[in-house]
Structures are given as C-alpha cells and as structure tokens.
Homo-oligomer: A and B are copies of this chain.
Amino acid sequence: MDELSELFKVLGDKNRLRIINLLKQRSLCVCEITEILKLAPSTVSRHLSILKHVGIIKDKKDKKWVVYSLNVCYDNVLITVLMPLVLSQLKDDEQAESDLRKLAGIDLNFVCKSKDASEIDSIKNEVTPKVSI
C-alpha cells in the first residue's frame, strides 16, 4: 500500500508529468528541461531524482551533462502497467503538445552553453524509441 500510494504521489504532480512527456520525445539533460518548464535547475533536479527513485527514468553521465531518459522496461509490475497508460493519456494534451513544440524549437547553443556543433547535431538526429501503447 505504501508503494502504491508513493507511486501515485510521484505521478500526481503536473511538472513531473510534463517531464515524462518530454522524455517520451528524447533523452534530455537538466538544462533543457529547466528551459522548457521554467523552473529553477535545483527544482528540476529534484523532480528528476524523485522520478528516478521510483524507477520511471534513468540517467547516464555524458561529458558535462547528466542525460535523463525513460526506462524502457521496469522491474516493477505496477509501473509496467501504469506507464503505457500515462503515456497514452499525454497524447492530445494541450500542455504536453506545447511543451513538445518548445522542445523542438529549443536553441541548444544557448540553453547548454558548452555544447559544440557535433554534439548538437547528434542530438537532433537521435532516434526516438517508439513506445507502443
């Protein structure tokens, strides 16, 4: 019951749902999410650690950046069933779509100051794993 209510609590925050929605598109560093959500970097970092703690997302270090992404498979049955449901609900959502548009138009040279041209290029060409609903 604790596990159940904890997971629902984690999902019961709009900014965390916005992050999940963004990570559905592609993996992101903290700078990028901060830029779109217009929150303090420390706040975004906190949300990310909460999402990571319950196993919804994972991170990996890449040069200066910590790159976050959705987990593709979960060791938890509940999340495994819940996530496709959450992702499907984020379709056709106004806020979710607006965030994705903002993500598409983001200026990586400005948002992540130290990213060089080749890095930016590989991000733009990143293949998004399509999650089937």
Interface residues of A (CB under 8 A from B): 1-2, 4-14, 17-18, 78, 81-82, 85-86, 89-90, 93-96
Identical subunits present: 2
- Chain A interface, >50% SS class: helix
What CA separation (Å) do A11 and B94 show in the bound complex?
Answer: 23
What CA separation (Å) do A9 and B47 show in the bound complex?
Answer: 16
Which of B11, B85, B96 has a CB less than 8 Å from the CB of A12? B11
Select from chain B the residue with minimum beta-carbon distance to A11: B8
Which of B7, B78, B90 has a CB less than 8 Å from the CB of A1? B90
What CA separation (Å) do A94 and B4 show in the bound complex?
Answer: 13
Is A18 touching B4 in the complex (CB atoms < 8 A)? no
Residues of chain B contacted by A86 (CB below 8 angstroms): 4
Most buried by B among A4, A90, A95, A96: A4
Is A1 touching B93 in the complex (CB atoms < 8 A)? yes
What CA separation (Å) do A81 and B89 show in the bound complex?
Answer: 11
